[in-house]
């Protein structure tokens, strides 16, 4: 990989790390706020109305953290476009990450976290109510039990884990790092492809700023591939590489311009 490109990518990845740190602290703040609210007697004292108010508070808290995430994602698209010498692509890159008629990763995270947290609390409530009914407990006693159960739900880290569409469980920090790094990589590569296609180029090299630590990427590292089906010879395409598993979450394979066809 050309030194200049490697330097730019390393710089992009350092900026991405700082974005991840800001996302993590927004997520931490959301979690801490929600735990504090779950423990707030205001929400455990009353009936259905106070629970609804708590659920609304949970959704709004995760929503705020999601807006921080989304701002960082836009920033990463801008940095990636700049690093790939295609600053004009920022908007387009952001729209790929955050489609107008689809859900962006931050919104998906907020929805998923809200559902998981509310469902955990609801389960605690149902379980407690069932137990109380069986034992014919006094109302005062039920409230104490309910509060204790909710406290447990608030402290249980499982209730604050993000589960992605593939069903993978992420701890908050690993998810923030994966999301920002993968976004940076994807935005950078799209910006490179966009610039090269506009130049009428047909080939691109798959390369890594360091030594790839995964078997798939090791195989493809330093290979020249075709941008589209155009071009000569039995040269695989970017799509073939993607299909083989390159550009997976957390992948550090980047694309770089090459001079002419591979020999
Ligand atoms: Zn890999």
Rounded CA gap, 48 and 66, in Å?
A: 27
The one-digit pLDDT tens for each residue of the chain (263 residues) are: 578 888 999 999 999 999 999 999 999 999 999 988 888 878 876 677 888 899 999 999 999 999 999 999 999 999 999 999 999 999 999 998 888 888 888 999 999 999 999 998 888 888 888 888 888 888 778 878 888 888 888 888 888 888 888 888 888 889 999 999 999 999 999 999 999 989 989 999 999 888 888 899 999 999 999 998 876 677 899 999 999 999 998 898 999 988 766 65
pLDDT of the residue at 147: 81
Per domain, the residue ranges of the chain are 3-176, 201-263
Query: Which tokens go with 88?
Result: 């004009």
- Residue 193 to residues 203, 220, 251: CA-CA distances in angstroms? 9, 17, 17
DSSP 69-131: HHHHHHHHHHHHHHHTT-GGGHHHHHHHHS-TTS--HHHHHHHHHHHHHHHHHHHHHHHHHHH
Q: Strand 162-163 relative to strand 203-207: parallel, antiparallel, unpaired?
A: unpaired
Phi-psi region of 260 (alpha: psi -120 to 50; beta: other; left: phi over 0): left
Rounded CA gap, 29 and 52, in Å?
A: 22
CA of 95 to the centre of ligand 1 (A): 25
CA of 104 to the centre of ligand 1 (A): 24
Torsion of CA 7, 195, 77, 206, to 10 degrees: -50
Query: Which tokens go with 254?
Result: 């980047």
CA of 150 to the centre of ligand 1 (A): 41
CA of 210 to the centre of ligand 1 (A): 12
pTM of the model: 0.86
Residue 195's closest CA among 87, 44, 122, 95? 87
CA of 156 to the centre of ligand 1 (A): 33
CA of 245 to the centre of ligand 1 (A): 7
- What is the distance between the terminal CA atoms of the chain, rounded to a whole angstrom? 17
List of residues 6+ apart from 108 with CB closer than 8 A: 165
CA dihedral sign, ordered 77, 81, 87, 89: negative
CA of 255 to the centre of ligand 1 (A): 14
Contacts 24+ apart (CB under 8 A), 236-242: 238/193, 238/204, 241/206
């Amino acid at each position: 990989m050309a030194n200049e490109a490697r330097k730019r990518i390393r710089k992009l990845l350092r900026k991405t790390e700082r974005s991840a740190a800001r996302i993590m602290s927004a997520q931490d703040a959301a979690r801490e706020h929600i735990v504090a609210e779950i423990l707030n007697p205001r929400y455990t004292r009353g009936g259905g109305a106070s629970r609804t108010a708590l659920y609304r508070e949970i959704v709004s808290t995760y929503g705020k953290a999601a807006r921080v995430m989304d701002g960082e994602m836009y920033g990463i698209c801008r940095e990636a476009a700049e690093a790939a010498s295609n600053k004009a692509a920022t908007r387009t890159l952001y729209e790929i990450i955050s489609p107008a008629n689809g859900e962006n990763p931050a919104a998906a995270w907020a929805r998923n976290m809200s559902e998981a947290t509310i469902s955990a609390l609801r389960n605690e409530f149902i379980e407690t109510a069932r137990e109380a009914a069986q034992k014919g407990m006094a109302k005062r006693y039920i409230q104490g039990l309910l509060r204790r159960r909710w406290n447990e739900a608030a402290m249980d880290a499982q209730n604050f884990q993000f589960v992605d569409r593939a069903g993978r469980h992420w701890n908050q920090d690993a998810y923030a790092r994966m999301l920002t790094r993968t976004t940076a990589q994807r935005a950078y590569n799209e910006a490179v492809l966009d610039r090269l296609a506009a130049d009428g180029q047909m080939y691109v090299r798959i390369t890594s700023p360091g030594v790839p630590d995964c078997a798939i990427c090791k195989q493809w590292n330093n290979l020249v591939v075709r941008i589209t089906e155009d071009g000569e010879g039995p040269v695989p395409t970017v799509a073939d590489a993607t299909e083989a598993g390159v550009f997976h979450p957390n992948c550090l394979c980047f694309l770089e311009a090459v001079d002419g066809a591979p020999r």
